Amino acid sequence: MIPGAFDYHRPASLGEAITLANELGDDARVLAGGHSLIPMMKLRMAVPEHLIDLADIDDLKGIDERDGTLQIGAMTSQAEIIGSGLLAERCPILRETAEQIADPQIRNVGTIGGNVANGDPGNDMPALMQALNASYALTGAGGTREVPARNFYEAAYFTALEPGEVLSAIHIPIPPAGHGYAYEKQKRKVGDYATAAAAVLLTMEGGVCTSASIALTNVGDTPLFAEAAGAALVGSAFDEGAVGAAVSAAEAIASPAEDGRGPVDFRTRVAGVMVRRAIGRAASRAR
């Protein structure tokens, strides 16, 4: 339970961090809040020779709104997401989701950048980012490129991040005023990862669904954007036929691992229940 030896680096700027990451190559890992990486190092599932701590880089912190887009610095903590008045007004599902991550101590230190860059299918923010159609700014020696969250996750712990790149910011198109939203998470106990969870965002006009976006947490190797599930709701008044079709479409793409959270059939079914509950709550909130 003691990590292997490593050298510790604490750059003062993003440029310095990227230079270090490129110099040190595969032997280095970026350190954010450390609440996923350090446990993996203690288990020797990760054995980096160098840690590049991003804690002193002010450019990676903060929450802002620009041209209809929310910009969240990668080193913004989960607690800061919960406490942000701007996010509560513009995109309240961020707070609802962050409040269901782990416990207050972990949320005080764990960052949104670490949560989405980690590539663990159990992390809650990646599916939400897919439902929101967010994108990630990936900064490397050659500049910054933008990758949609829906294209970022390749397999468990494999993402579109290239060696030497740092995820510097998250960009979220602000959902329309009056949208409905819900993040529903089934977990065995407080502080646990999801048995299954679902993020739902939707809009309504005259009682009819005009758009819907659904994504699933921890029922596959990656977060799952459930495109067909959202499409099943559009044009409906959330009657049983449409909601049942959305639930079936979500269950059809789920392929959870059998583990301590339950067998495959059970976890698939829980994913469907989370989708059903999230649709109901999101529809009740839409104006």
Ligand X SMILES: Cc1cc2nc3c(=O)[nH]c(=O)nc-3n(C[C@H](O)[C@H](O)[C@H](O)COP(=O)(O)OP(=O)(O)OC[C@H]3O[C@@H](n4cnc5c(N)ncnc54)[C@H](O)[C@@H]3O)c2cc1C
* Distance separating alpha carbons of residues 212 and 18, to the nearest angstrom: 38
Q: At what angle do helices 240-253 and 264-285 cross, to 10 degrees?
A: 140
Residue 77 contacts residue 110 (beta carbons within 8 Å): yes
3-state SS assignment for residue 67? coil
CB of 265 to ligand X, least distance (A): 23
The residue (of 37 and 209) whose beta carbon lies closer to ligand X is 37
The residue (of 36 and 130) whose beta carbon lies closer to ligand X is 36
The residue (of 113 and 272) whose beta carbon lies closer to ligand X is 113
Sequence-distant (≥ 6) Cβ neighbours of residue 85 within 8 angstroms: none
Number of residues that bind ligand X (CB under 6 A): 30
* Distance separating alpha carbons of residues 24 and 180, to the nearest angstrom: 46
CB of 208 to ligand X, least distance (A): 34
Tell me which residues in 44-73 interact with ligand X (CB under 6 A). Answer: 54
Write the CA distances from 254 to 16, 213, 241, 245, integer angstroms: 41, 16, 20, 15
Write the CA distances from 170 to 124, 156, 158, integer angstroms: 15, 20, 18
CB of 273 to ligand X, least distance (A): 18
CB of 161 to ligand X, least distance (A): 6
191 binds ligand X (CB under 6 A): yes
The residue (of 74 and 214) whose beta carbon lies closer to ligand X is 74
Tell me which residues in 117-146 interact with ligand X (CB under 6 A). Answer: 117-118, 123-125
36 binds ligand X (CB under 6 A): yes
Write the CA distances from 139 to 50, 99, 153, integer angstroms: 19, 28, 17
153 binds ligand X (CB under 6 A): no
CB of 52 to ligand X, least distance (A): 8
Residue 149 contacts residue 133 (beta carbons within 8 Å): yes
* Distance separating alpha carbons of residues 263 and 204, to the nearest angstrom: 36
CB of 287 to ligand X, least distance (A): 29
29 binds ligand X (CB under 6 A): yes
37 binds ligand X (CB under 6 A): yes
Q: Which of 14, 18, 24, 32 binds ligand X (CB under 6 A)?
A: 32
33 binds ligand X (CB under 6 A): yes
167 binds ligand X (CB under 6 A): yes
Q: Where are the beta strands (DSSP E) in 54-95?
A: 63-66, 69-73
User: In 3-state terms, the chain is what percent helix, strand and coil (to 5)?
Assistant: 35, 25, 35
Tell me which residues in 201-260 interact with ligand X (CB under 6 A). Answer: none
The residue (of 197 and 254) whose beta carbon lies closer to ligand X is 197
The residue (of 36 and 213) whose beta carbon lies closer to ligand X is 36
Stretch that binds ligand X, among 1-9, 35-43, 65-73, 266-274 (CB under 6 A): 35-43
Residue 87 contacts residue 63 (beta carbons within 8 Å): yes
CA 216 from centre of chain:
10
- By CB under 6 A, name the binding residues for ligand X: 29-37, 39, 54, 74, 101-102, 106, 110-111, 113-115, 117-118, 123-125, 161, 166-167, 191, 193
